[in-house]
Amino acid sequence: MKTVEIQLASTESQWYTFRELQWHLAKFRGKRVPPTTLKDWLKVLSIQADEETGCYSHEDLRWLARYCLWLRRGGTSKGFQSIQHDEIRRKSYAS
C-alpha cells in the first residue's frame, strides 16, 4: 500500500486547540468539520489532548488529515486503524 504524506504549513512543535483542529481540517477537507464529527474521529484514532496544555500536537493533526483523506477515498475506520497501529508499531521498533 502506498503511504500518503500530508504536508501541513506548520512547525512540528506547534500545538492546536480543538477549534484550530476544526479549522485546519475544514481547509483540508474543503468543508466544515462539525464538533461531533471531530470528537468521533479523535475517539476512533485514540487521540487525546495533551494533559498539560489541553491542546493537540502537529502529529495529531497529521493523523486526522490522513484519516480525512482515507475516508474521502472510501476507506473504513477499521482499515485506517490497522494502518495507524502498524505505523506506530514500526516507529517504536525503529527507535
**Domain coordinates of the chain in residue numbers?**
15-94
| Structure-model confidence comparison of residues 13 and 2, the more confident one | 13
Q: Please report where in the chains the cell 483540508 appears, as a residue.
A: 28
pTM: 0.80
At the topology level of CATH, where does 15-94 sit? Multidrug-efflux Transporter Regulator; Chain: A; Domain 2 (1.10.1660)
Contact (CB, 8 A) for 70 and 87: no
All 3 cell numbers of residue 90?
A: 514500526
pLDDT tens, 7-64? 555 445 689 999 999 999 999 899 999 999 999 999 999 999 999 999 999 999 999 9
All 3 cell numbers of residue 40?
A: 468521533
Cα 44 from Cα 77, distance rounded (Å): 7
* 2 pLDDT tier (thresholds 50, 70, 90): very low
Cα 73 from Cα 59, distance rounded (Å): 21
Cα 60 from Cα 20, distance rounded (Å): 12
Burial of 76 (0-12, 13-18, 19+ CB in 10 A): exposed
